[in-house]
Structures are given as C-alpha cells and as structure tokens.
Amino acid sequence: MLNSTTSHHTERQALRVNPAKTCQPIGAMYAALGIHNCLPHSHGSQGCCAYHRSHLTRHFKEPVMATTSSFTEGASVFGGLANMTQALTNIFSIYQPDVVAVHTTCLSEVIGDDLPMMFKKFREDGKLPPGKHLIHANTPSFQGSHITGFANMTTAMVRYLCEKSGEVCDRFNLLPGYLDPADMREVKRLAAGIGARFVMFPDTSDVLDGPQTGRFQMYPQGGATVEEIRSAGDGFATLALGFWASEPAAKELEHKCEVPYELVELPIGLGATDAFVDAVRRLAATEVPGEIERERGQLIDLMSDMSQYLHEKRVAVFGDPDHVIPLVRFLVELGMRPVHVVTGTPGKAFETNVRQLLGPAGAAAKVRAGEDLLSLHQWIKAEPVDLLIGNTYGKYIARAEDNLPFVRFGFPILDRVAHRLFPTVGYRGAMRLVAGITDALLDKKDRECPEEFFELVQ
Amino acid sequence: MTSESYRFTPDPDRVREEMLKPYPAKTRKKREKQIVLNDPDSPPAIGANARTIPGIITQRGCTYAGCRGVVIGPIYDIVHITHGPVGCGYYSWLTRRNLARPAPGQTNFMQYCMSTDMQEDEIIFGGEKKLAAAVREAYALFQPKAISIYATCPIGLIGDDIHAVARQASEELGINVFAFSCEGYKGVSQSAGHHIANNGVFKHIVGRDDTPADGRFRVNILGEYNIGGDAFEIEELFARCGITLTATLSGNVSYDQIARCHTADLNAVMCHRSINYMAEMMETKYGIPWIKVNFIGAGSTAKSLRKIAQYFGDKALSDRVEMVIAQEMQKLKATVDEVKPRCEGRLAALFVGGSRAHHYQDLFQELGMRVVGAGYEFAHRDDYEGRAVLPTIKVDADSRNIEELEVEPDPVRFKARRSPEQLEALKAGGFTFSDYEGMMRQMDKQALVIDDISHHEMDKLIELYRPDVVCCGIKEKYVVEKMGVPCKQLHSYDYGGPYAVFTGAANFYREIDRMVNTRVWKMILPPWQKHPELGARPVFSPKPRKTRETAAAAADGKGRPARSRSARLEAIEPTGEPTC
Ligand code: SF4
Ligand code: SF4
C-alpha cells in the first residue's frame, strides 16, 4: 500500500500528489442543490459535469441531477453562447426547474465566456419562461478549491436573488457552509430548538438524504425556496458558519442589502457548538432551553468518561479548512494532541488559526494549508501518530501504516454510510465523534493486543 | 413456468414517442435518430457517436476520461501525471476499480494521484515549466520506468506543448516519458479518448521489447480492464487451458508486458469499442490477427475459448479446453438450476459503456431474462449494427479531429502468424477474423435500442416497462433505485464482481437473483398506505377468570397459547366500520 512513500519529506514546487482538495465546480454544484427546484448547470465540456455528479453521488448515494453545455472543439474556439442557449432551451422544456444555477469550468473560464451577457440575450430573445431564474457563479479551479466553489455559488444566490424590500423582518439568515444534509438538518434543529426564526440557504437536507418512496423526484421537497432566499435581504442579521464557505456570501449580503453579519466556526465539537448556540441565543434574544443544555451535559459526561483513552493521543487531521479548525479545537478539548494538520485549500488564515488553537504545546506540530496527502503521509512516517482523521482517501494511509486507527470525517466519504444520516455537528454530533474516535482506538487494541490484555470492559 | 414468465410489455413505438415528446424540435430531430426499434435480421441504422445535446442529462464523460481513466490508467507501474487544474486528476483517482497485483516489491502507482494543480498565473503565462518541473519531481520521488502525461481542457486552450516537454524529460531522465493530447473537448465522448490512448500506447510502448513470453499459444486480451478482478479470472482460466497470456490491455498489466505484447500470436478483443484501433494497428504492423471474444457469460466464454483453440489448431489444446469447459459447466449447473427459476421471465434493460450493454445480455439470457432495451453511452454504429456497416459510416468533423496513425508493416518484426492455407482452412470452417457483429443481432425484434440515453428517456422506459433490473452507471444508479427498481452498475460492478468467465458468471447469477428477489423493494409502502381503512378498535370482552388449573395447564404447554395484546390487535380484520 502506497509503498513508494518514504519518511523523507521534500518540498515540491510543481507536483501535487494525492490532493486534499478538489475543484471549484463540484462545490458550486452541491450548493446549487440546496435551492428548491433548482437544476445546477455546468458550462464547459461534459466531462467535468460527469465527474462532479459521479463524485457527489458516491458521497451521498442519492441522485445528483445536473446538466452540461457539452462543449466540443467548436465551442472551445468560438465560445459557448450557442451551447448555452441550446442547453437552457432544453432545460426549461424538459426539466422545468425554477432556477438554473450555472457554474463555469476551467474551460469556459479560459475562453472567457461572459455568462451575464448570455443570460441577458436569452431573456431578451424571450426564451426565459416567466417566473424562472438564472443565476451564475464563476468557478475557475485554478483558484481555491471545492470550498471556494461552494462559497462562490452561495454568494451568487445573494447576488441574484436576495432583495431588500425596506421592511426589516424579525428573522436572521443562516449560512450553513459546506455541510452534509444531516448536519444542515442538525443546525436547523438546534437553532429552531432555541426558538430562533431564521432562513437558511443553501439547504440540502431533504434534497440529498431523501427517503425511498418508490417515486423519483427530480426536485425533492427540500432546499431553500427562491422566496426564502429573496427575503434574506430583509433579515436583521446573518449568522455565517465557516470563514471559507460562508463569509463571502455574508459579506455580499451586507454589501447588497445592508444586513450585518456575525461569523462563527462550524459547530463541530464542544467549544464551537457553544459559540454557535450562544450566537443563536443572542440573535434570537431568548434562552437556551434545558433540552439542549442536557445534550451538552451528556457530551461533557462522555468526554470525561472516555478521557483516559484519548489523553495525549497523537492525531493527524486533514480536511476542509472550515471543518478542520473546529475539529482541532475539539481534539484539544478532548486532551488529544493534533500533530499534523493539513488542508488542501489554500489560505494562510488556516495556519494562524490552527496554531492559535494548539498553543505553545503544539509549536512542533506540522500545520499546512494548500498541502496534500503525500506530505501528510511522509510526516506521519517520520513522526508517527495514534489516530488519523479525514475523508475516505485517508484509508490508504491508515492501511499503509499498520492499520492506523482511522475516523472518517468530512468530504468525501465514499465507502461508509453513517455521514448520510447522522450529524457530526452540534453536541450530538460531537458525541458521535467521540464514539467514533474511541471505537477506532479500542478496535485496534482489541484486534492486536496480547491475549492477556484483552478486556471485557473498557 | 412461473407466473413471471409472461410479462405484458408496452408498445415500443408508444414508448419511443413518450420519450421524444417534451423535446424541442431541434432536439427531437437528433434524438429520433438515436432511438430505434430493433430488427435482429437486418439491424436498422442508429445515430451514434454524435455530439451530446447541450442541456440534456447525459451519461457521458469526456475524452480525458476515456484516455487516462479507461485505457492507460490501469497500467500500474508507470506514473500518470494529469496536467491541468486539480479536479480532472482527482476524479480519475481510484474511481475505476482497475485492480492490480503487482509483483512483490513493485509499487502500484494507481494509488497515487498526480497533477500539476495549475494555478491562475500558470494558466496565464503557460504551464510548460511547471509540467517539466512536475515530471522531474515525480521521477525524484518514484523513479518509475515511464511517465505518462495527460492534457485537460484548459491546457489545449493555453497551448502548452506537452509533447515537447515529454521529449525533453525523456532525454533528461533517460526513461520513457510520453504525453496524450486528450483534452475533454476533443471528441463527443470518452470514445475519442480511447482512440487517442490506443495511438499513444501503440507509438510509445508496444514493440519496445522483443522477448516473447514462454509458451506455445500466446495471446493478448485487448479491451479488458480488470474491473472487480475480471482479468484475474481470465488469467487463471487461460492458465488452466494452457494458453499463455502475453498481456491484457490494460487490466492488471505492467509496462513491460505491453512493451512485448507484439510477440503474441493472436489478439483476442473483449471491448471492441475502446481498443479495436490497437487490434487493427498491431495486425498491420506485426501481422497479429484479431478475433472478437467475450468472456462475460458461460456460453460466450466457452465459445471464445473454443475459438482460440481452433485458431491454434492444436488437438491437445482443444482437448484441454473442452475438458475445462465441461468441468466448469458442470460446476455452474447447480447455480443455474437454483437461480434460474427465480429469475426467468424477468425484464432487464442495459444502458452503459461501449461493450458491456451487449456482453451482459448473455448472462441475462442464461438466466432466462428478457432484455427490453439496451444502448451504449459512447459506442459507434459498428458496435450496434456490426462491423459490416463500417464502410458506410460518414466521418464527421469531430472524428476527423482524432489522429489516424499511418501504420506500415514493420520491416523486421512483421510476421504472418498463419499461412495462407491455414487461414483458408479456418475461414472455410466458419472462422471469422477482424469481425464484430454488434449488439443488435443478439437482441429481440422490437426491443428498444437507444444510444446515449438521456435521463428523461430512462425515466420513461422505467415507468412504462417497469423492468426488474436496470444496468447503468453511478450517476443513474440512485435515480433508478428511487423509482423502486434495482440498478446494477456495470462500470464499477457496485464494488462487487468478478463477473468474467464461468466463476464470474456464477457471481453474476447470484447477484441478479439477489437484486430482483430482495425483499426490500416490497417494503417501500408502509402497511397503513396499503390498507388506509380505519380498523375496529379492540373491544373489551370479559373473559372467564384464570383458575389455578388453567394457569398450570398453560405452563405445561398443554393449554391455549397466551396471546399478547398486539397479537390480538393484529387478528382484528379491518372492517372500515367504526364501532363507536
Ligand atoms: S477542468 Fe477544471 S472544472 Fe473540470 S474537472 Fe478539471 S479542474 Fe474541475
Ligand atoms: S476539464 Fe476537460 S478534461 Fe477535465 S474533466 Fe472536464 S471535460 Fe474532462
């Protein structure tokens, strides 16, 4: 397994090996699925769209519907106007969405296709059916990562759809960030439990975690409606979760509709969930109900019960920046020692943030943004860890390193199912994480320890 | 005969009309040509290898996917570098299930995804320098035998000369470095990528090592990518028959094996679509004839083995092949006998790839199932109608884009593998070289044949036929299953397999049996939806008091079994009549 990887780490200038990120459009496609009755459209060659749909499908095990402009050589030379017009005509007559959310690919970016101009022409030619919306985001993959793409499409929702009517309503806006549907649902449950009134977008719960009913729905019941997104312009504030995925849209909303925003981390682990719950409480001007405090108490109880198995354990973590930062915070809260922390998405803020969380004790830790899994693996080989946390691709490292305990976390998870249904955010999600981590550590011990140390009770 | 063995199926003309109904005129005109009703005796002309219509939800991928993903990616001991932004390389990383068993100590480079991860500056100022540096870094890290470079869409546009970079790197590093201009937009589907890959492998790898494999009956399998271990099964079967496998292009295969594959005496082609170019070029240059084989399905496997034995014309080989076939058929019989009665008469539809939608029909036929519709994602007319139509296929602008190599007989290495007399004798015995009869000849009259099926067409097909199983790919999988119909992925095999040869056939029979008979599809409706009537509420009726004697009798097991409250509730028939 990965047997050309050695403990010798060299800085590479040009070659990316085993990336810890992917490209913008997949994130844009995912965000667009969080609008009700919306069809994501990929403007470029069809391969990108096929790849993005396939990968999202592998992660969610759900239908992921999207269309493409299917560029061939001609469009690549003369531009994609004809393809776009034909695509939109087909989409509105065959699939009848309320919104078509277009994102670019590297190809249409390099060509320099002007999407607003194309939309304008489509509209002026009378081809846009009444009441339908076109929105777009530029998502060049030679910048940022899939997280950037998600942020760009969320920002496009604000840019195209949010409006300020002048009447501020008693609701705030919630931007959930690049979360799984189960996590989005949990975020809503917590906020609603606190008694908040809010509009959340994008919202992929009930879109990508649908039930089996024997009926396929092109547009499942979930997703934020155009009306809801529009009304975000009248919200009294925005609560944005995650600097990378949500802040750009929050800023845009502030700029466009004068809605001030507050930024918190994704509610992963104790401290970050506390901050989220507290922010919602303040915005909703209410009190945190006993039920949620009880959940918090259960988490603390679990943390203290399991502390002996976690204390000072060395951990390697990789994933998306908005996820990894609160996760590192949580690992520190659990008394664990994150020693290698990697995200593929570029951004210096990541390193500063994680270093702060690690404090002086973590001065020797490797913390890197814009890094890949080959480097992470080399570091692990040179300075071994007790636990690896990251997306499915981590399983190759885990196996190469003598079945290193491995907890799947983040995007994508291609080989297990729990993430589809059970959240990792909020206090309950944190409990699931603790259970996952202790299971991984104890399973290894149970499989490998000498028989005399094999224990019935732990 | 089971009650399932006769199934009402709708009028296919009507189904076709329903499929075409919502299309705007221009779209309809194109799709009309790609949806036809079959006639096995005289296959109708079908539109294929045509541009995908923008805005139609298609199954297709791109040229890069066909080149790097399908044909070359599975060569496990060379380093594959995707030149472009990170995504294209990322998605083609370990997603195709090309299994490999490298020799001990060798690295399986498929576990590594390598990309130049192009950034904005490099897109603006050109990426050749970065590519050259990436190749050097890859060599320093891995010291591979060869490095292969793939261009993605933006690279073609910014005009990086990847071939020049490869040539320079070859000289500098002293290893074989070669490149593929397989930008996604180059063709109408993955198919263009296959062609580009065939050209490159032929130019840069085949023929570099003249050492023949040991063994008398040397064969290459072309167009077998070892999804789920299919190639492992074929290798083992060949070994048992005494057939020497020189190389499989390109499943479980090393660079060295491909470098000497021109020393084989026969090319056996599995996936005609993806690799017929290679078969033709090797025949011209080295004199190796090719035949079409199919190792999917027990009957086809037997037929293919016999054909190979017949080609070599060796009695001992034929006897051994017959013995193996007899043994395997015997072993398989128990599975068929068990499974077939549960599957017979069920309906299947297959829309996938460029050969599997045909090959897998054999397995369904062996189970007594009926194929009501089939089609390819990226095949050409010859894969539907047979190679006989090749001279009549118009070469359009998109296909003209792809280089046709000028191949000539190799002055040293060309060797006719069979004498003219042998060839005559074989042909007289009904043996066909260089032929593929296509999918349609095997399908029922009036079955629907649909090229590049769209989501909407699939939706209608399922609604109107209600097939018992549909075969397609990952993007369609859960769409189909949400309709309550099981879907078998035939790209990835749903992470199962192998399905090739006799052993694989048994796996597939069991898998289809599981899929069409699994209980879960019958559990979709909750009981209250099946019987929404309100039932009677339980009514209290005084019962005689338990005496000591009756209680003791119950404990002895002689008395009336005690019924739980819920059991009593269940016993109440819903009457729809409220009692109060
Ligand atoms: S070209 Fe760009 S958008 Fe398309 S898959 Fe590659 S990186 Fe992603
Ligand atoms: S950019 Fe081109 S090569 Fe890459 S996935 Fe998209 S269509 Fe294929």
B75: which strand partners? B253
Contact A212 B156 (CB under 8 A): no
What pLDDT was estimated at residue B574?
Answer: 42
Contact A1 B111 (CB under 8 A): yes
| 8 Å CB contact between A81 and A144 | no
As a whole number, mean pLDDT of residues B9-29 equals: 97
Please write the tens of the pLDDT for every residue from A37-69: 999 999 999 999 999 999 999 999 999 999 999
Superfamily designation of domain A24-161: Nitrogenase molybdenum iron protein domain (3.40.50.1980)
Within 6 Å (CB) of ligand 2, which residues are found? A 45, 47-48, 51, 105-107; B 62, 64, 88, 152-153, 183-184
Contact B475 A210 (CB under 8 A): no
What pLDDT was estimated at residue A213?
Answer: 93
Q: Does the pLDDT of residue B541 top 90, yes or no?
A: no
Please write the tens of the pLDDT for every residue from A207-221: 999 999 999 999 999
* Single-letter amino acid, residue A219: Y
Closest CA to B202 of B286, B270, B79: B286
Using a CB-CB cut-off of 8 Å, the residues of chain A touching B19 are none
Convert B552-573 into a string of H (helix), E (strand) and C (coil): HHHHHCCCCCCCCHHHHHHHCC
Using a CB-CB cut-off of 8 Å, the residues of chain A touching B116 are 14-16
- Closest residue of A to B127, CA-based? A14
What's chain B's average pLDDT?
93
Q: Measured between alpha carbons, how far is residue A235 from residues A185, A196, A248, A278, A424 in Å? A: 21, 12, 17, 19, 28
Known catalytic residues of B? 62, 65, 96, 194
Q: Does B474 touch chain A (CB under 8 A)?
A: yes
| 8 Å CB contact between B219 and B199 | no
Atom of ligand 1 nearest to the CA of A42: 3
CA B62 to ligand 2 center in whole angstroms: 6
Per-position b or e across B505-544, b if 16+ CB within 10 A of its CB: bbbbbebbbebbeeeebeeeeeeeeeeeeebeeeeeeeee
- The C-alpha atoms of residue A367 and residue A340 are separated, in whole angstroms, by 6
CA A48 to ligand 2 center in whole angstroms: 5
Contact A72 B185 (CB under 8 A): yes
Residues B52, B58, B61: CA angle, nearest 5 degrees: 80
B292: which strand partners? B269
Percent of chain B residues topping a pLDDT of 70: 93
**For residue B568, what pLDDT band results from cuts at 50, 70 and 90?**
very low
Q: Which of B114-118, B264-268, B443-447, B520-524 has the lowest mean pLDDT?
A: B520-524
Mutate to test the pocket of ligand 2, among A26, A48, A69, A141 (most ligand atoms within 8 A of CB): A48
- The C-alpha atoms of residue B457 and residue B99 are separated, in whole angstroms, by 33
Mutate to test the pocket of ligand 1, among A16, A22, A23 (most ligand atoms within 8 A of CB): A23
3-class secondary-structure state, position A42 = strand
- The C-alpha atoms of residue A122 and residue B191 are separated, in whole angstroms, by 32
Tell me the fold of B3-59+340-384+438-523.
Answer: Rossmann fold (3.40.50)
Task: Decide: residue A453, CB within 10 A, 0-12 exposed, 13-18 middle, 19+ buried.
Answer: exposed
**For residue B248, what pLDDT band results from cuts at 50, 70 and 90?**
very high
What pLDDT was estimated at residue B543?
Answer: 81
3-class secondary-structure state, position A385 = coil
Superfamily designation of domain A172-288: Nitrogenase molybdenum iron protein domain (3.40.50.1980)
CA A106 to ligand 1 center in whole angstroms: 6
- The C-alpha atoms of residue A217 and residue A207 are separated, in whole angstroms, by 10
B47, B50, B55, B60 alpha-carbon torsion, rounded to 10°: 100
What pLDDT was estimated at residue A282?
Answer: 98
Q: What residues does CATH 3.40.50.1980 cover in chain B?
A: 3-59+340-384+438-523, 61-187
Q: Does B116 touch chain A (CB under 8 A)?
A: yes
Does the C-beta of A242 come closer than 6 Å to ligand 1? Answer: no
CA A134 to ligand 1 center in whole angstroms: 22
Break chain A into its structural domains and give their ranges: 24-161, 172-288, 291-452
| 8 Å CB contact between A266 and A306 | no
Structure tokens that stand for B46 in this block? 């079908």
Atom of ligand 2 nearest to the CA of A71: 7
3-class secondary-structure state, position B522 = helix
Place of tokens 């489509």: A122
C-alpha B222, offset from chain centre: 14
Closest residue by Cα to atom 1, ligand 1, is A106
Structure tokens that stand for A188 in this block? 């809503």
A41, A43, A44, A50 alpha-carbon torsion, rounded to 10°: -10
CA B181 to ligand 1 center in whole angstroms: 16
Please confirm, yes or no, whether A110 is among the known catalytic residues. Answer: yes
Domain A291-452 has CATH 2.20.28.120: no
CATH classification code of B61-187 = 3.40.50.1980
Mean pLDDT for back-to-back runs of 10 residues, chain A (458 residues): 95 98 98 98 97 98 98 90 98 98 97 97 98 98 98 98 93 98 98 98 97 95 98 98 98 98 98 98 98 98 98 98 98 98 96 97 95 98 98 98 98 96 97 98 98 96
Contact A50 B65 (CB under 8 A): yes
What pLDDT was estimated at residue B480?
Answer: 97
- The C-alpha atoms of residue B218 and residue A325 are separated, in whole angstroms, by 58
Please write the tens of the pLDDT for every residue from B310-359: 999 999 999 999 999 999 999 999 999 999 999 999 999 999 999 999 99
CA B152 to ligand 2 center in whole angstroms: 5
Q: Does the pLDDT of residue B578 top 80, yes or no?
A: no
Structure tokens that stand for B244 in this block? 């020497």
| 8 Å CB contact between A20 and A319 | yes
Phi, psi of A40, rounded to the nearest 5 degrees: -70, 145
Q: Measured between alpha carbons, how far is residue B15 from residues A254, B32, B454 in Å? A: 52, 12, 14
Q: Does A154 touch chain B (CB under 8 A)?
A: no
Question: Which of B22, B188, B474 is the closest to A54 by Cβ?
Answer: B474
What pLDDT was estimated at residue B6?
Answer: 64
Please write the tens of the pLDDT for every residue from B177-224: 999 999 999 999 999 999 999 999 999 999 999 999 899 999 999 999
Q: Does the pLDDT of residue B535 top 80, yes or no?
A: no
Contact B525 A10 (CB under 8 A): no
Q: Does the pLDDT of residue B409 top 60, yes or no?
A: yes
Sheet holding A337-342, edge to edge: A366-368, A337-342, A314-318, A387-390, A406-408
What pLDDT was estimated at residue B547?
Answer: 66
- The C-alpha atoms of residue B446 and residue B12 are separated, in whole angstroms, by 7
Does the C-beta of A141 come closer than 6 Å to ligand 1? Answer: yes
Closest residue by Cα to atom 6, ligand 2, is A48
Residues A323, A328, A334: CA angle, nearest 5 degrees: 130
- Closest residue of B to A79, CA-based? B157
Contact A47 B482 (CB under 8 A): no
Closest CA to B249 of B237, B267, B266, B233: B267
Contact A72 B51 (CB under 8 A): yes
DSSP class per residue in B214-235: SSSSEEEEEEE--BTTHHHHHH
Sheet holding A99-104, edge to edge: A67-68, A38-43, A99-104, A133-137
Residues A73, A75, A78: CA angle, nearest 5 degrees: 110
Structure tokens that stand for B337 in this block? 């006998």
Instruction: Give B100→chain A minimum CA distance, Å.
Output: 12
